[in-house]
Amino acid sequence: MTSQRTRDRLVTRLRDEGIENQDVLDAIRNTPRHLFVDEALASRAYEDTALPIGYNQTISQPYIVAAMTELLIAHRPHKVLEVGTGSGYQAAVLSSLVDKIYTVERIEPLLTLARQRFRQLGLRNIRAAHSDGTVGWPDFAPYDAIIVTAASETIPDALLHQLAPNGRLIIPVGKPGKQRLTVITRNDDMFEREDLDPVTFVPLLKGHA
């Protein structure tokens, strides 16, 4: 069910779909995605598909995790903020690729589960908090990169302000059905925007739950 061959097949598929960065492919191969979903879904954990994690949320599709991770590490960030911990899978994939990850989640029971997984896997460079990520995490700003794993119709100002010089924000932007993966790069006080592929994410919501 979680054999090496099943994981290798997922990595082969991601490579066929255009993921080129070997470090990203290795990180996906080495991250036990079956531990980030409910046991009842574990047999489907290495399919390239999003899966439910409760509370109307999903663990992102491996292809999207790989594509966003590839964009994120292109500029070799050290310190990264993730908004939307969810299952913790994206943070776990990043754990071997950057020095330090800060991640925030607005739904407390999801955060509790994600923290248990980080502990179980010995991932010590992830710091997680229960909070509303639309305001970022000012205490540890600035960040070399910020990744948002929920979609927003507008780009939260706080996230732009918490980017380090030359920092990058990777965020799905747009109304449901019309979202695009967007990359914002900070050059001093100028922000350069690139709109990439269409994507489908759960919404970025304000406040705690």
Catalytic residues: 60
Build a one-symbol-per-residue string for 71-110: x at contacts with ligand SAH by CB under 6 A, - elsewhere.
------------xx-xx-xx-------------xxxx--x
> Closest distance between ligand SAH and the C-beta of residue 131, in Å?
7
User: Which pairing describes strands 180-187 and 163-173: parallel, antiparallel, or unpaired?
Assistant: antiparallel
Q: Tell me the C-alpha to C-alpha distance, in Å, between residue 90 and each of 11, 74, 147, 188.
A: 16, 16, 10, 28
Site string for ligand SAH, 122-151 (x = CB under 6 A): ----------xxx--------------xx-
For ligand SAH, the binding residue among 57, 125, 185, 200 (CB under 6 A) is 57
Closest C-alpha to 91, from 120, 52, 61, 65 = 65
d(CA 9, CA 172): 27
Q: In which residue are the tokens 């896997």 written?
A: 121
Distance between alpha carbon 98 and the CA centroid of its chain, in Å?
13
60 binds ligand SAH (CB under 6 A): yes
Residue ranges that bind ligand SAH, judged by CB under 6 A = 57-60, 83-84, 86-87, 89-90, 104-107, 110, 132-134, 149-150, 202, 204-206
